[in-house]
Every structure is written in structure tokens, then in C-alpha cells.
Amino acid sequence: MQSSAPDWGLGRYETIAAQLLPAAKIVVEAAGLRAGERVLDVGCGTGNAALLAAEYATEVIGVDPAPRLIQVAADRAALQGKQMTFHLGEAASLPLADASVDVILSVFGIIFASDAEAVAAEIDRVLAPTGRIALSAWVPSGTLFKISSAAADAVRLAFGAPPQPKPFDWHDPGELTRLLQPYGFTLSLDEYELAFTAASVQEFLDQQAKDHPLAVAGLGILAKLGQAERVRNELLAILESGNEDPQGFRSTSRYVVATAGRGFTSVAGNSLA
């Protein structure tokens, strides 16, 4: 969600977003949307959460840094006859006025921001005094986390770059409380699982390499250096080792849904602050 991030318009994120729809439904449900509320979807991508929110809210706005995905989301909204607004923007610098929304949603979007403190300040700024936020974040474990880390390390090592700073732990209740409590937010958090499936390990890897923006960007760099095939074989070995379905491919990833608000308690969660 920052300007230096890879272009999320690369590949075909639409296919990835379709797999994330169950998580979007859970995030929207956890937000407890009510008629008349103004909702902002940060890192809206192809519009999964924004479109779901439009079933309840009066005004829905989507913000994303990828122009192509903004257009996809707008086209989906038009096709469904929903009046929504979409803007180019980043989580740490939202193109909205102060206290202009009642609810902020983010389905695996805010977690890519490089400056969590700036994001928290923006959340506080654009939310109404009684506003709340619902977001999802991956738990850094499991097979898909391993291949993401391995791919990122391969690109870094290919350039001889130093290790990246440790990202903010958006999944960690203690870190989230530390980040949001100074703004008067109370936090609730629940853990879920999402299974990714394919007919085979090879099919899954091929789809990711073709469709996922980060994979497209990373493998493109490695291909120019003559290292793409070696890295693909390493990723294939990781996927095969962690495959949960001997008749095809299945990998289950854990994630959390956190809700926070001033005096708000999630309809699904347990208060942690």
C-alpha cells in the first residue's frame, strides 16, 4: 500500500481476489455494518469487501494504489448497479477528509503498508469520533508463507541487497493494541483459516506465477538474471513438502480478523484491550 511497492496491477489479481472472497465476507460481517454508515475499503483491490459493504452501507468508497484494479472494481460495481466511489491512494495517505467515514475495512490491504504508525494516524484522522475498523492479516506461518518468504529472499539475494526491516506484525494483538490504543481504540481479534486448492502442486504454482502480482514481478526480475527456473524448482519443492492433499493440492493459511473502535466491540471477537 505504499508507492514503492510492486505494481498490484500486474498479472491477474482478479483470480487471487476470488480466492480471498471468504475472508472479505468475514471482515464485513465482523464490522457489523449498519444502514446509513459511510464505509471506506482500504486496499480495495477488485472490490470484494466494498461490494459486500454496499449491501448495508449508504456510502462506500474504495481506495487502492493500482489504477487497473480500481477500474476492475468500478466495472464490477457498475455491473451490479451499485453507486460507489473509487480513488487512487495509499493507506498512509488517504485521499479523504477528516472524520469523513464511519467504518474502515481492509482485507489483506493495510498489511502491505511500510509505515504502520502513519497508517494508524490516518485511520484516526478519517474516522468519525465513534468510528471503527475491521481488517484481516495473515499469520506468518505455513506453506504459502514459506514460499512467499523464499521468493522474496531469492530476489533480494539476486541483487545482493541487505535484509528488509521486519514488517509490522498486523496479526499480533499486542502490537495492534500498542499501535491503536493511543488513539482510544479497543481491540478485538479472532483467528480463521483459508484453504487454497488446485488440481496439482504444479498447477497451483503455475497459476501463482502467472496471476499473482508479487510473483509476476519477482519471477520477471529473476528471469532477467537467469535464476527463475532454479527458484521455481525450489518453490515447487516447498509446496510439495507442505501439500495437504495427496490427490491434488491444498494449503491452509491462518489469518486474523481484528476490529477496533472507540467503545466498539466486534460482533465476532473477544476484547483484547
- The backbone torsions φ and ψ at residue 14, rounded to the nearest 5 degrees and listed phi first, read -55, -40
Q: Which residues pair with 187 in a beta bridge?
A: 260
In order along its 273 residues, the chain shows pLDDT tens digits of: 333 456 888 889 999 999 999 999 999 999 999 999 999 999 999 999 999 999 999 899 999 999 999 999 999 999 999 999 999 999 999 999 999 999 999 999 999 998 999 999 999 999 999 999 999 999 999 999 999 999 888 887 877 777 778 899 999 999 999 999 999 999 999 999 999 999 999 999 999 999 998 888 888 888 888 888 888 999 999 999 999 999 999 999 999 999 999 854 444 443 333
> How far apart are the C-alpha atoms of 67 and 82, rounded to whole Å?
20
Q: Which residues contact 117 (CB under 8 A, 6 or more apart)?
A: 179
Instruction: List, for residues 15-46, the tens digit of each pLDDT value.
Output: 999 999 999 999 999 999 999 999 999 999 99
**13-139+165-197+253-271: CATH number:** 3.40.50.150
> How far apart are the C-alpha atoms of 267 and 261, rounded to whole Å?
12
Q: Which residues contact 32 (CB under 8 A, 6 or more apart)?
A: 266, 267
Residue 183's Cα: distance from chain center in Å?
A: 23
pTM of the model: 0.90
DSSP assignments along the chain, one per residue: --TTS--TTSS-HHHHHHHHHHHHHHHHHHHT--TT-EEEEET-TTTHHHHHHTTT-SEEEEEES-HHHHHHHHHHHHHTT---EEEE-BTTB-SS-TT-EEEEEEESSGGG-S-HHHHHHHHHHHEEEEEEEEEEEE-S-SHHHHHHHHHHHHHHHHHTPPPPPPPP-TT-HHHHHHHHGGGT-EEEEEEEEEEEEESSHHHHHHHHHHH-HHHHHHHHHHHHTT-HHHHHHHHHHHHHHH-S-TTSEEEEEEEEEEEEESS---SS-EE--
pLDDT of residue 41: 98
In 3D, which of 80, 86, 52 has the Cα closest to residue 68?
86
Q: How far is CA 271 from CA 43, 114, 260, 264, in A?
A: 25, 26, 9, 9
Cα dihedral sign, 198-204-208-211? negative
pLDDT of residue 272: 38
pLDDT of residue 228: 84
How is residue 48 written as a grid cell?
Answer: 470484494
pLDDT of residue 271: 36
pLDDT of residue 184: 95
Listed by start position, the domains of the chain span 13-139+165-197+253-271
pLDDT of residue 139: 97
